[in-house]
């Protein structure tokens, strides 16, 4: 359950920062730093993710992050790759898997496949965005264990202004559904606020009864 929760956290806020050279919505200057703070349904801090753009070259950026729990204890750190093109930004799911997660399967063969998450350079109200999915297969003879996560019903709902500790931002509002399966199934409805030049400003996650179960907010930004 802990592994599945970590995977969901990584994937759901993976769109935090991407190359500005070929992406409208995401920053990319080496050394740019920002912080995402996660809150539970009672509005209490449940974790903090600190990011830095470690390297940027051409249309590829390397993002390093550290994840801490609500008490400031380090949970994991890793880095992942992001690529941008004329179509927009895509996130390489396979490169996002942290050592904490992959270390649990170091003596096993792990395969990953799926469709990358795409954020187009041009957004407009009513626009439908492509679905994405990732399948991780852990081969542990005589059986295989599979984790599957899907992002679907992705749609641009409109524009809103959002204020966080990092400032006030004009944002596009994107809604989508997500489903994760790894022995058990977790489903959620999500609302994402995306700002030009900054990336994700805020995200809220709801259960199937439309009750808020958590949110993530941009709490610091510097370049």
pLDDT at 4: 43
Q: Per-residue confidence at 23, pLDDT binned at 50, 70, 90?
A: low
Phi, psi of 183 (to 5 degrees): 85, -55
Model confidence pLDDT, tens digit, residues 132-167: 888 878 777 777 778 888 899 999 999 999 999 999
pLDDT for residue 18: 41
Give the model's pLDDT for residue 165.
97
Domain that holds residue 79: 2-222
* pLDDT at res. 110: 66
Q: How far is CA 223 from CA 48, 67, 169, 205, in A?
A: 19, 20, 16, 28
CA separation, residue 146 to residues 3, 127, 138, 142, 180 (Å): 13, 32, 6, 14, 11
CATH code for position 122:
2.40.360.20
Helix or strand run (H / E) with residue 5 = helix 2-12
Number of domains observed in the structure of the chain? 1
Residues 6+ apart with CB under 8 A from 30: 53, 54, 55, 56
Q: Which residue has tokens 């958590």? A: 214
């Amino acid at each position: 359950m802990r592994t599945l929760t970590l995977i969901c956290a990584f994937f759901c806020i993976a769109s935090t920062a991407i190359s500005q050279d070929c992406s409208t919505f995401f920053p990319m200057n080496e050394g740019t730093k920002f912080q995402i703070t996660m809150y539970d349904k009672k509005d209490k801090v449940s974790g903090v993710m600190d990011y830095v753009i470690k390297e940027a070259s051409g249309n590829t950026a390397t993002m390093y992050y550290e994840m801490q729990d609500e008490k400031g204890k380090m949970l994991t750190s890793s880095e992942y790759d992001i690529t941008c093109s004329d179509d927009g930004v895509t996130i390489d799911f396979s490169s996002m898997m942290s050592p904490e997660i992959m270390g649990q399967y170091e003596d096993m063969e792990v395969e990953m496949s799926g469709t990358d998450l795409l954020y187009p350079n041009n957004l407009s109200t009513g626009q439908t965005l492509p679905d994405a999915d990732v399948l991780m297969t852990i081969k542990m003879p005589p059986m295989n264990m599979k984790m599957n996560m899907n992002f679907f019903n992705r749609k641009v709902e409109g524009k809103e202004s959002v204020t966080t500790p990092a400032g006030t931002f004009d944002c596009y509002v994107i809604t989508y559904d997500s489903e994760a399966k790894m022995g058990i199934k977790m489903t959620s409805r999500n609302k994402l606020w995306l700002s030009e030049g900054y990336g994700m400003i805020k995200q809220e996650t709801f259960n199937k009864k439309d009750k808020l179960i958590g949110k993530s907010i941009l709490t610091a930004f510097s370049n």
